[in-house]
Structures are given as structure tokens and as C-alpha cells.
Structure 1
């Protein structure tokens, strides 16, 4: 039985792509759940948003642990947790580290401190998910060894197109809502 596919390197790559996929789904569900046309599906969208967000965040933690324990391209715990300190691609590694911290702030603000922070501060912190996601995409595209593969380009490109489309629709909807309310 050939078990070459079971390696820390493959799990590092898989966990990176899985985190990207789950967090893209989380952002898409969060944006879609706020759209007027999907208000009847809002509870489903919010459950998907929260569940995939947590699963994606935990997958990032798994990704970090695997990188820490990997012997082929070793990272120290400091290199993984302190941006720009990695020996291997310090800037590109930092994109991933900063992304992790921004996701951490977003999840902590939303699930643990939402009531304490108040709606305005919570909403401001919640928007950190957008630069967190963008840095995650850059980290994966620029440091990932599979980024040149067509399937990886499809995954990254599809997620980017999906989120930019939803952001544009959400922005347009917020601009049209005040006009629709004032004309009624």
C-alpha cells in the first residue's frame, strides 16, 4: 500500500487550502446573509458563516502546528507567531501571521466580546476580516507551492471573484436602500 500522500508537507498544503476554502465560505455567507433578497435564509447564512469561520480558524491553527513540527522547512514558534521573523520568505510568511491575528481579533470580538464592545466597535473590528482574508490569499498565492497549478488558480480565482461580486452587490444594495426608503 502506497502511503506517500500521507506526509506533513501534504497536510500543510491541504490545511492551507482548506482554511482558505472555509474562510471564503464564511465571508460569502456573512455577506449574503445581509442581502435583502436572502433575508428568509438569514438564519442558515449566519449558521454557515459562524460554523465555517470557526472551522477555518481552527484549520489555520492546525496549519501553524504542522509548520512548527515540519522538519523539511522548519519554523520556530517565534517565526510563526512574530510577523517578519521567519527565515523562509519573511514577508510572505508575515502575510499569513498577520492574517491569523486579524482573524483571531474578528472571532474574539464576535463570539466573546460583542456585547462588551458595543455594536459600532464590534462592526469596525468585524471588518478586519476583509484584510485578513486578502492577506491569506496573498500568503497562499505567493508562498504556496501549488499556486501555479490550474486547480489552485481556479480555487483562488473563484473565491476572489465570488467575494468581490458579493462585496459589490452588498455595496450597491446599501447605496440603493436609502434612496428606496426616501422615495416611499
Structure 2
């Protein structure tokens, strides 16, 4: 039972921390104040790294638990899982996206002098958003507690938090684009 509890708790907490990372990433990218942006990005990265550690604990506990009969080969071929193969596939794809985004994020500082990498940063970092969304789908389909009121409340809260953060970011961008300084820089206002 210990592995089952560990798998459940680490999976749920990983989703919560990835939600915090996604929300702060969205809000932090739209922040104009450098010190505020610094702290938002610091907590964003800390939540993402902690989420990755919990994800590793989740995967390890699930593979080690003999009840669900998931082998390490599922990390390479997730469709072969004996336990809810579609849901496990979503989870593995989510893990791929989140780990890829973490690796790209870790390399960002080292590759900042490359204009090609800087241009592609946002398009590569979108893997984190895709990974987060797939992890929510995984939790809704694979978890043993997926239909309990408390788990539905956590999942709904995660969805609302990310959507609200994206809305705040979109509003911030719209306000920034309509300021006289932004219009002057774009050559639209003289």
C-alpha cells in the first residue's frame, strides 16, 4: 500500500506544482517590473524542478508497485501498458513534454547568445504547456481517485488557475500594446 499512496500523492502534487509553474510562467512573462519578474520566474522554476522530482517519484512508485503491473519499458513503448494503456500513454507523453521543456529551459542561459535559439525559445517551451495539459488528462483517466470529489476539485482548480493566468497575461499584453510608448516604438503613434 505504501507504493500506491506514494504514487498517488506524488502524481497529484506533481500536477499541482506544474500548475503553479505554468501559472507563474504565464504571469511572469507579462510582467513589466524587473524585480517582480525575477521573483515570479524564480518561483516558476522552483515549482517546475520540484514537480519534476515528484514526477520521478510518481513514475518510480508506479513501476515498483506490483499491483498495476507496469514495467519500465512503458517509458519507451507506453501503448504496451497492461493498465489503462491510453491513460498511461498520456502520462508518458506528458513526461516527455515536461522533461524536454526542462532541458530546454536549463540550456536557455547557456544558449542566450544564439539568436536562432532565442527566437525559437517560446515555440520550444510550449512543450511544457502541452505536457501540463496531457498530465491533467492522465490524472483524469488513470488515477484511482479520478472521480472522487476532492480529486475533481483539485483538477478543476488546476485548470482554472492556468486559464486565469493565461487571461491575465493576454490582458497585460493588450494593455502594453495599447500604451503610447509601445505605439511609438511600433511607429503607429507620433
Normalised to the residue count of structure 1, the TM-score between the two structures is: 0.89
Which residue matches 1:131?
Answer: 130
**Mapping 1:162-177, distance limit 5 Å:** 162-177=161-176
Query: C-alpha offsets along residues 20-52 of structure 1, whole Å, 9 cap, x if unaligned?
Result: 111111111111212337654222111111111
Please name the residue that 2:74 is paired with.
Answer: 79
**How many angstroms does 1:90 deviate by?**
1.1
Q: Displacement, 1:150?
A: 1.5
- Please give the per-residue CA displacement for 1:60-117, whole angstroms capped at 9, x wherever unaligned: 1111111111111111111233232212111110000000000111000010255166
Match of 1:36 in 2: 31
Moved more, 65-74 or 111-120: 111-120
137-146 or 168-177, larger mean C-alpha shift? 168-177
Query: Does the CA contact (< 8 Å) of 1:93 and 1:139 recur in 2?
Result: yes
- Structure 1 residue 58 corresponds to structure 2 residue 53: yes
In the comparison of the two structures, how many residue pairs are matched? 179
Q: Would you identify which runs of 4 or more consecutive aligned residues in structure 1 move more than 3 Å? A: 36-40
Q: Distance in 1 between matches of 2:81 and 2:172?
A: 42
The answer to whether the 8 Å contact 1:33/1:39 transfers is no
Segments of structure 1 that go 5 or more residues without pairing to the other structure are: 1-5
Alpha-carbon contact 1:96-1:135 (below 8 Å) kept: yes
Give the CA RMSD over aligned residues.
Answer: 1.9
> Which structure exhibits the higher relative contact order, with contacts defined as CA atoms closer than 8 Å and separated by 6 or more residues?
2
Which segment drifts farther, 111-120 or 143-152? Answer: 111-120
2:186 alignment partner in structure 1: none
CA distance in structure 2 between the aligned counterparts of 1:82 and 1:22, rounded to whole angstroms: 26
CA shift, 1:179, in A, is: 2.6
In the alignment, structure 2 segments of 5+ residues that lack a partner are 184-188
**Matching residue of 2:153:** 154
158-167 vs 83-92, which deviates more?
A: 83-92
Report whether the alignment pairs 1:89 with 2:84. Answer: yes
122-131 or 35-44, larger mean C-alpha shift: 35-44
TM-score by length of 2: 0.86
CA contact (8 A) 1:68 1:80 kept: no
| More displaced stretch, 67-76 vs 168-177 | 168-177
What is aligned with 1:112? 107
